[in-house]
Structure 1
Amino acid sequence: MTALDDRGGLEAQFAEWRHYVQRRPELRTSDAEELEDHLRGSVEELTALGLRAEEAFLVAVKRMGGLDELSREFAREHSERLWKQLVLTGEADSPAADSRARRDLLALVVCAAGAAVSVKLPALFGMSLADDAGFYGRNIALFALPWLAAFLAWRRQVGPALIGVLVGLFALGAVAANVYPLAEDSQSVVLTAIHLTIALWFAVGLAYVADDLRSSRRHMDFIRFTGEWFVYLALMAAGGGVLTAFTFGTFRAIGIVPEDAIQQWLLPCGAAAAVVVAGWLVEAKQSVVENIAPVLARLFTPLFAATLLAFLITFGFNSSGIDVEREALILFDLLLVVVLGLLLYSISAREPLAPPGLFDRLQLALVAAALAIDVLVLVEIAGRISEYGTTPNKTAALGENVILLANLAWSAWLLLSFIRHRQPFSALERWQTSYLPVYAAWGWAVALLFPPLFGYA
């Protein structure tokens, strides 16, 4: 190996270490930079003594003293190399780590129980899921998300000022959900439920990035957290379905039909608690799902790209146009959200210094196909609005398509520039993190302004 190749391999090692350290919620950007400076100094000393670059790097990591626990976790994620021999020797659980785990578990129990109790509080005022579906629908985000934000804020040791901001945002959400006189069949009920959830999820994000509010790296971590949280929640939902089926079957075998208990207690309380538990799992077990989610993104990106391209080809031979009724609008919006989600999670899980490859080109094809479909849907919506007038659903769909169009269009340009070696991959990361406030602002706008603008229809 030449000196140049040796140096290039060493820089790749540093990049891998830096990427790992920067994902740690307890470390600020300045902390990560200080750690890297310390590590580089140790490597230079060891190479001056005659060690090869890779050997010097591994030994320097081992020598990082108080960072033994961090180094061991890094070793677990890179066990295919020499980490076990150089780092895991004499591994023992530290008392500080055990104490922190116990405190986290206690905070989880409190917050999960709080979410479960919140779902049942309206019953004290004579409300029920069966008879007051509109109320529960509008307030669905307020039952569990404040408790998830509380858990994250506790882990980040959030200060009083930011706690006040979080309380204010959730209080504003409660006002938006309940102050307007919306009928049960009002379009604004569904729009408020969806968009208030989006807006308050970014309040959860504020608690997540509280340890470094201005860091684009922490904002990208929140994107990764969102994807991993969704994966865990889906897995828990599948397990919960099995538990519900067994509960129903076993009690029914002894002559008891627990249908009311399942509908009124098990399902709503379990779902609310699962929102918090999924967040705890992401925080505590990151290395497990980080190996799964990138694989899912790589699996479904080409499949969705092929599906969208097939749709565009079929549309070209079929002149019947696109149905833009409510169900179709929801379907197309969800499709674009899925495409954006695949792009975001692939970005968050990708090594920034890796050169462009086949998967980047597949992502570009996926985004380009989504852009083409987005333009077609926008044209159909605009034509339907000009012909039949506007409704809350159509206006919301139009706005969301415009927002997604802007994001995907610039993402496509940045992806193309990266593939052509004209832009670094970090430019695409910065664009996505800087665009997050747009989604939050749109969610608040729909939840707060649409009901009175459309006469609470």
Structure 2
Amino acid sequence: MKSSIYNNLNDPEKLEELYQSNPKRFAEAFRELSPYLTDKPGVDFWMARLDYQKTETPAEKERYRNSLWLLVLCSVFAIFLIRLPDIAGWKAEEFYPPNAPFIVFAAMTIYIFFDRKRWSKSRFGQVIVLLIVPAIYINLLPGYFNNDISTLIYIHSPVLLWGIFGWVYINFNRRDLSRRAVFIRANGDIIILTGLFLIAGGIMTGLTLGLFDVIHVNIEKFYLYNIVPAGLVSAPVVSLWVIRHHPTITNKLAPVIARIFTPLVFLSLLAYLIALPWAGPNLFSDREFLLLFNLMLLAVAAIIAFSISETKQKASRFNLAMLFGLTIMAGIANLMALVAIVHRISEYGITPNRFSVIAINILLFVHLIFIGRRLGQVIFQGKKVQVVEKAITSYLPVYLLWAGFVVFFFPIIFGAY
């Protein structure tokens, strides 16, 4: 490292590359060399940079402590909500399907609202109303609706709660599309960190139960009944706290994951579409396979949005080409699903499920066309990646409007089904 530093003292970019490759080793080597480099330009700058330590002001320390207390309170709130069936004597199988999304998003929304320098009581009142109204509405729905309508409402209500969380996250500025892009990026970071926390929690659970089993103390029932649910509902809030106060953790991790997963998803979807004509299940006749196919499309669309949000302004043409190809293949797969759904409707008539599936496929197909067109402009016309971000973020309210339509109007339209 010493020789590399000495040989590149006049090349700032190379020095930065050496530093980024191993900051600790670079700092040690540079400090050892510094007494012999007093006449070299740039040495004072690097010494100041390596020796710099940010001193937190009392206000910053106080804000950090407050954020920790807020994290604890929101986690306790989520844990309280998940234990409501035991406290109130309700049936768990009736409570969790409609309320599980509310437990997670309510805690995250309240956390992000108060984790700011400024907030207003009137805004807080609006947020509480927006959270509580869907929760009360869903829990008070009459029981005579069939399972299809109830399931559709349970599937779409998290989208509404996610929209409320996003509205608070972007600080109620719904016109600023750049903030929506930041919110999409934060969603990917939350999913990554939550997954890591859950994996670590699973490992810790196995070790803990194993250690207590060795000394013949049975804590399995208590641990699985109390600790595991608390960890599950707290993990997203903890992830949100990490993103807010330790952003460097995910700033490097998320882009790497995006770059790795995009080609893998591209190859997987390509192989899937090639193998589909020879596969056993048929989109036109197998209802479960069609639903699974649509879930796969939604997952691919989410990966495209996340990957683009993590793509910097000077993105590599390879990554952009992968995203462009992935968008085209997702559009082809979406078109196949649309044809299959139209076929099923013509054969068996309209139902709440079929109407919902064809609508979301149309919305997704239009969105993929917008994204693909913008990606093509970036690749072939040299436009900036921000035009693709705009194509993604400007369309998000369409999904929220559709989710609201399903939740509040499907019971009226299809109430007789």
- Same fold, TM-score > 0.5, yes or no: yes
Shift of 1:436: 1.2
- Residue 337 of structure 2 corresponds to which residue in structure 1? 377
Residue of structure 1 aligned with 2:53, choices 85, 91, 98: 91
Whole-Å Cα distance in 1 between the matches of residues 174 and 145 of structure 2? Answer: 39
Aligned: 1:309 with 2:262: no
Aligned to 2:384: 424
**Correspondence for 1:104 among 67, 74, 78:** 67
In structure 2, the residue matched to 1:242 is: 203
Q: Matches of 1:89 and 1:116 in 2, distance apart?
A: 43
Q: 3-state DSSP class of the match of 1:192?
A: helix
- Separation in structure 2 between the aligned mates of residue 313 and residue 336 of structure 1, nearest angstrom: 16
Give yes or no for contact 1:134–1:184 (8 Å, CA) kept in 2.
Answer: no
Contact kept in structure 2, 1:228 and 1:282, CA below 8 Å: yes
The range that moved more, 174-183 or 99-108, is 174-183
Question: Could you tell me how far apart the structure 2 residues matched to 1:267 and 1:282 are?
Answer: 23
Residue in 2 aligned with 1:387?
Answer: 347
> What amino acid maps onto 1:387 in structure 2?
E
1:264 matched to which residue of 2?
Answer: 225
The one-letter code matched in structure 1 to 2:317 is: G
Once the two structures are superposed, residues 93-139 of structure 1 have per-residue CA deviations (whole angstroms, 9 ceiling, x without a partner) of: 3133222211111111111111111111232221243xxx2321111
How far did residue 194 of structure 1 move?
2.2
Q: Does 1:286 align with 2:247?
A: yes
Q: Once the 2 structures are TM-superposed, how far is the Cα of residue 217 of structure 1 from its aligned partner? A: 1.4
In the other structure, the counterpart of 1:24 is none
Q: Which residue of 1 aligns with 2:115?
A: 155
CA-CA distance at 1:319 after TM superposition: 9.9
Provide the aligned C-alpha RMSD in A: 2.9
- Alignment of 1:329 with 2:329, yes or no, is no
- Inter-partner Cα distance in structure 2 for 1:84 and 1:315: 57
CA 1:438–1:243 in structure 2 vs 1: closer, same or farther (change >3 Å)?
same
| TM value normalised by structure 1 | 0.75
1:167 aligns with 2:124: no
Which of residues 84, 96, 101 is equivalent to 1:121? 84
TM-score by length of 2: 0.82
> Gapped runs of 5+ residues in structure 2?
1-9, 17-22, 28-41
Partner of 2:38: none
2-structure distance, mates of 1:456, 1:266: 43
Contact 2:167 2:173 in 1 (8 A): no
Choose 242-251 or 105-114, whichever is displaced more. 242-251
Look up the equivalent residue of 1:271 and give its one-letter code. Answer: L
Q: Across the two proteins, how many residue pairs are aligned to each other?
A: 380
1:364 aligns with 2:324: yes
- Does residue 193 of structure 2 align to residue 204 of structure 1? no
For each residue in 1:196-246, what CA deviation from the matched residue of structure 2 results, as whole angstroms up to 9, or x when unmatched?
111101111111111744322111110011000000111111122223323
Task: Report how far residue 367 of structure 1 moved.
Answer: 0.6
- What is the CA–CA distance in structure 1 between the aligned matches of 2:264 and 2:340, rounded to whole Å? 26
1:279–1:394 CA distance, 2 compared to 1 (3 A)? same
1:455 aligns with 2:400: no
CA change 1:266–1:98 in 2 (3 A) is same
- SS of aligned partner of 1:303: helix
Q: Which residue identity lines up with residue 52 of structure 2 in the other structure?
A: G
C-alpha change, 1:88 and 1:334, in structure 2 (3 Å) is farther
Change beyond 3 A, Cα 1:295–1:330: farther
% same residue: 29
- 8 Å contact from structure 1 (residues 170, 200) kept in 2: yes
State whether residues 187 and 393 of structure 1, in contact with CA within 8 Å, keep that contact through their aligned partners in structure 2. Answer: yes
Task: Please give the alpha-carbon distance, in whole angstroms, between the structure 2 residues aligned to 1:140 and 1:408.
Answer: 30
Contact preservation (8 Å) 2:312, 2:385? no
State whether residues 182 and 456 of structure 1, in contact with CA within 8 Å, keep that contact through their aligned partners in structure 2: no
- 1:137/1:189 contact within 8 Å kept: no
2:188 and 2:258 map into 1 onto residues whose CA distance is: 10
Segment drifting more, 292-301 vs 155-164: 155-164
The question of whether the paired residues in 2 share the 8 Å contact of 1:149 and 1:207 is answered with yes
| CA displacement, residues 417-443 of structure 1 (integer Å, 9 cap, x when unaligned) | 111116432221112111111122222
**Which AA in structure 2 matches 1:91?**
Q
- After superposition, the C-alpha distances for 1:227-284 in whole angstroms (9 at most, x for unaligned) are 0000011111112222332343334444454444244322322211222111111112
Seen in structure 2, the aligned counterparts of structure 1 residues 211 and 447 have a Cα distance that, compared at 3 Å, is closer
CA distance in 2, matches of 1:171, 1:393: 26
Residues 43-92 of structure 1 show CA distances to partners (whole Å, capped at 9, x for unaligned) of xxxxxxxxx9x99xx9xxxxxxxxxxxxxxxxx9xx99998645454313
Contact 1:294 1:345 in 2 (8 A): no
Q: Residue deviations 1:303-358, cap 9 Å, x none?
A: 22122222333345679742564532342233222222222222222222x26611
**What is the CA–CA distance in structure 2 between the aligned matches of 1:330 and 1:319, rounded to whole Å?**
16
1:139 to 91, 94, 99: 99
Which digits, 9 at most, give the CA deviation of each residue in 1:381-436, with x for residues without a partner?
Answer: 11112211233332222222111111111111111111111643222111211111
Residues in 1 aligned to 2:160 and 2:273: alpha-carbon distance in whole angstroms: 32
* Residues 229 and 278, structure 1, Cα contact 8 Å, conserved in 2: yes
- The CA distance in 2 between the partners of 1:165 and 1:425, in whole Å, is 35
Aligned residues of 1:329 and 1:397 also touching (Cα < 8 A): no
Q: 1:426 to 1:290 in 2, by over 3 A?
A: same
Contact kept in structure 1, 2:157 and 2:403, CA below 8 Å = yes
Q: Hey, what's the Cα distance between the residues in 2 that align with 1:84 and 1:128? A: 64
| Consecutive unaligned residues in structure 1, runs of 5 or more | 1-51, 59-75
Whole-angstrom distance in 1 between the partners of 2:222 and 2:373: 53
Question: In 2, distance between residues paired with 1:456 and 1:142?
Answer: 28
Distance 2:321 2:198 in 1: 34
